[in-house]
Structure 1
């Protein structure tokens, strides 16, 4: 008997909460500007999970959805007009999604209930129609603040709301084909930005098949297919290639294609694409440095293969693009370091031939050795000022300090080489160099 009493009290308390929520909403609707406290009371009464009869009562969920939709409306008004303050309103996380979920539950409960009146379904469908606008607005708000998880929940709930309305033969704001494609596009972008590739993939595929006019679809499909454990670069590139053909002036697709060939280590195919990118963005130093790096890789490849007729040209092209970057910004660390590395690697390559020449003790052999040795020191000498300038800009670059230490050791300047080595060891032990060594 005690158990029955407690159950009855519990059910009665839950009914009282629902009734209290309804009364609070009635008071709020009579004077919404002067009675925001009534809205807070309604939310406090309706948000707890229902028990007893309310669990299966569609009216409970309709009321819950109505209250949450009302709050969502108030938030939109404040955000769009700047009138009032969000701090004066109740704080409910994911309010638009919760309003939709409440109405969606009401649809289910109506279908499950015996002899549930038809007007209840009409009421809940109106609530879902209202939710659609809120879901889109709150999705945009979340997207603008880079809360892509919340943006996806709102946008995808908007698509789910459309499905419910169409199933029940009702109008939806997404009946317009363009509006539907726009909604799927924003939903897919939010999913991809939140690393939800499996949620984004079918949406982007559908947009691709529909020839939806957005270049980002092709870049997104490339990204999806080129990443993860089941990466398929061939399929990924087909999307990218199609996008490049359709949007030849779209810089983002061009950059994606450049990164694709960089990933595949196919420098020959990068040159024209990088030159096109430089034409589009002549002040983008990264492009000059990247193109210089491509020529640098070609120089090293042909040098190792002994193709002397190509080596000089590739070296000069690499240096030219590094130099163009430095003309635009003489303090660019990457361009300085890359220029130094270009000459350093040339010197290192020439050094490998010194051993062979050292075996020839004839006058001609000694002359060749001395000439090659002079070339080695000349190359290291040209590398040195670039590395010095790079060290001034970033005294904590391990690679720069290694190169400088080696050059000074070869120049028979042990004091400077040892001092640089101490700074290098400091970095390797977790320390930092507060000032540059070459600080003049």
Structure 2
């Protein structure tokens, strides 16, 4: 994990105007000293310090840990000023030098100083003390700038700062020094927010070890289980069985957590495990009784069960599921009368019923006896009754979305069966317009 974290420390572009082609440590030190004497009156001196220290070092500076300590100090100074402005509201961040990933760059400078100190012959011990102090200060900046990035939804930058905070902890521990992440809970909190930033930036492989660590540590946050479900259920190597085990564990530990319940509902929807969904959706409805999406989803589950039982010839069960589907679609419309999906689904429910009955009607047409004709006429009446019930839902759906291909197909067929060719043809023209890339600016069925 440390290798992964350190590998992410890619640096951004520098917005400071750099005057020299190579770093000038002496000029940077003089400018920083002048700035420290009067920070409020000499922001230009801080700009000068940055301009002198940010270019690549050459010669002796490239191997001198003191150069990188100075660089880290200057960058930490800028980071401190930015945090002060943000926390107090005094002044403007735009007035300060603009350095991308400033906190990360400061930490990286100190991390390089550690390497150079270890490589140097007879490098004085006090330098390592200065490095440790700088890294400890960097930890606070890395956390703050990670939060700033997270709040603006720049999750890549947030991850870069938070993961650098974890890397800073590893360096401090290697040197036997104190870290703000020595507390076990603080460390878990840091891993959690780092993993969350990674996951929000679709960096599932970076997020995986962090959330797995939290799971093993029994970190008290339901989002850990949802995150592990998402990680294992995503990508080319998705393992839904393993993913669900994390989700199941989360549901058992946090039975009242709505986000885990909805994740479980979506899991069963993906796997078409309809019978198991009903109780879970009803539970969700008791928790969010004004959420029309839950009623719509439960209506869809019953709709699918109706179609399954109807195809199997189980008429009684099919009829029960049909009624339940219509009931929940209707409850959706009570919550949201302009819900296109509920209108279209209600119309489709009756349309599909008519289509199923039409197949029976075709079979009855072979019997020309009086009894057979009577059955045919009775079934034909049921077919037209189902189409008539579907019609107003499709009409309302078309008013809301005149560019729904499926709605226009259903309306065109219904009017053809009702022997109203003028209306059917007009709807067909609107359908062809869509199929050729056009748009229907206004609905066909106006109020």
TM-score (norm 1): 0.96
Cα drift, residue 351 of structure 1: 0.6
- Which residue number corresponds to residue 87 of structure 2? 80
Report if the CA contact (8 A) 1:42-1:67 is conserved. Answer: yes
Alpha-carbon shift at residue 112 of structure 1 (Å): 0.3
Q: Which residue does the alignment assign to 1:148? A: 155
Tell me if 1:277 matches 2:284: yes
1:359 and 2:361 correspond: no
1:43-58 matched pairs, under 5 angstroms: 43-58=50-65
Is the 2:281–2:294 contact (alpha carbons within 8 Å) kept by the matching residues of 1? yes
Contact 1:292–1:322 under 8 Å retained in 2: yes
User: Mapping of 1:96-115 within 5 angstroms?
Assistant: 96-115=103-122
Q: Deviations over 1:220-274 (max 9, x none)?
A: 1111111111111111100000000100111100000000000001100000000
Local SS of the residue matching 1:146: coil
Q: What is aligned with 2:394?
A: 387
Query: Which residue is equivalent to 1:3?
Result: none
Any conservation in 2 of the 1:15–1:54 contact (CA below 8 Å)? no
**Structure 1, unaligned stretches of length 5 or more?**
1-12
Corresponding residue for residue 89 of structure 1: 96
**SS of 2:446 mapped into structure 1:** coil
Deviations 1:108-136 (A, max 9, x none): 00000011111111101100000000000
Which aligned segments of 4 or more residues in structure 1 are displaced greater than 3 angstroms?
13-16
TM-superposed deviation, 1:16: 7.2
> Judging changes above 3 Å, is the alpha-carbon distance between structure 1 residues 239 and 313 closer, same or farther for their aligned structure 2 residues?
same
1:4-153 pair list within 5 angstroms: 17-153=24-160
Shift of 1:15: 8.1
The question of whether the paired residues in 1 share the 8 Å contact of 2:195 and 2:207 is answered with: yes
Shift of 1:424: 1.0
Contact preservation (8 Å) 2:21, 2:55: no
Match of 2:299 in 1: 292
1:214 aligns with 2:221: yes
Cα contact 1:270–1:294 (8 A) shared by 2: yes
Give the aligned CA root-mean-square deviation in angstroms.
1.0
Counterpart mapping for 1:166-205 below 5 A: 166-205=173-212
What is aligned with 2:342?
A: 335
1:242 is aligned to 2:249: yes
User: What 5-or-longer segments of structure 2 have no aligned partner?
Assistant: 1-19
Q: Please give the alpha-carbon distance, in whole angstroms, between the structure 2 residues aligned to 1:49 and 1:378.
A: 81
The whole-number CA distance in structure 2 between the counterparts of 1:343 and 1:385 is 11
Distance 1:41 1:425 in 2: 67
SS of equivalent to 2:218: coil
Give 1:430's aligned residue: 437
Shift of 1:379: 0.4
The match for 2:272 is 265
SS in 1 for 2:24: helix
Q: 1:400 aligns with which of 407, 410, 419?
A: 407
Larger RCO (CA under 8 A, 6+ residues apart): 2
Is the partner of 1:157 in helix, strand or coil? helix
Contact 2:344 2:393 in 1 (8 A): yes
CA distance in 1, matches of 2:429, 2:151: 48
Q: Which residue of 2 aligns with 1:5?
A: none
Aligned match of 2:259: 252
Name the count of aligned residue pairs: 428
Structure 2 Cα separation of the partners of residues 168 and 192 of structure 1: 31
| 1:4 alignment counterpart | none
Q: 1:329 offset after TM fit, Å?
A: 1.6
Q: Is the 1:221–1:239 contact (alpha carbons within 8 Å) kept by the matching residues of 2?
A: yes
State the partner residue of 2:428. 421
1:303 matched to which residue of 2?
310
